[in-house]
Amino acid sequence: MTSRLKLIAGLLALAPLAAFAQECPVEGDPLDLGDEAVSALYDCIEARMAEGYAANGDPVAAEYRSWQVTSTRPALAGPHGERFLQTFANGIAADQYLKFAEEGVEMPAGSVLAKESFAVKDGKAVPGPLFIMTKLEAGEAPDAGDWLYAALMPNGKDMKIQQSFCAGCHLNWAAQDSLAYPMEDVRLTSQ
């Protein structure tokens, strides 16, 4: 094989990596992005996030993309550091979560919510952590509303978090079983 053919073959082998590493530029203030711009940004970054989260074999990271998405697009969530969030609910959680009820909510044990996140830094979308909430049996974590909080870094490694930090914020929605829902204008509803 000639040097030129080897070079072409090498470049073709790297083509999938170039798509994975593509930049997702953002023009202007991310707070001012419309629905189409946010959706396009998500389309650009979602495969990179999913691949990164799953890189270390976490079972939630391997499955969550097959779960019920809960909104039409990611939306900003101030408490999560001005990150855009897209929440997925497993089969146990989906029916109750998609009611977006504000009172008397009791998620069933085994419910799992996975929240993809990305932020805009220096004019580019960058993956953030995958936030995970798992509903435990009654009494297993009373100080956290019986939720277990976890997160994965964009490379799939465990993120060190304090249960009390996450619970301290989520307990502001105690009547909703500690659930802070997506913005109303992007919510999907159960059929």
d(CA 124, CA 110): 36
Report all structural domains of the chain as residue ranges with CATH numbers, in order of start.
23-186 (3.50.70)
Give tens-digit pLDDT for 144-183: 999 999 999 999 999 999 999 999 999 999 999 999 999 9
Per cent of the chain over pLDDT 90 is 80
d(CA 77, CA 120): 13
d(CA 18, CA 71): 29
Q: Identify the pLDDT of residue 2.
A: 53
**Is the pTM value of this prediction over 0.75?**
yes
d(CA 87, CA 159): 18
Q: Identify the pLDDT of residue 190.
A: 60
> Is the per-residue pLDDT at 8 higher than 60?
no
Q: Identify the pLDDT of residue 169.
A: 92
Mean pLDDT, rounded, of the chain = 89
The phi and psi torsions of 118 (rounded to 5 degrees) equal: -145, 155
Six-digit token string for 92: 């146990």
Give tens-digit pLDDT for 56-94: 999 999 999 999 999 999 998 767 778 999 999 999 999
Six-digit token string for 126: 């960058």
Give tens-digit pLDDT for 94-148: 999 999 999 999 999 999 999 999 999 999 999 999 999 999 999 999 999 999 9
Strands of the chain (E only): list them. 68-69, 75-77, 83-89, 112-121, 124-127, 130-135, 147-152
Q: Identify the pLDDT of residue 49.
A: 98
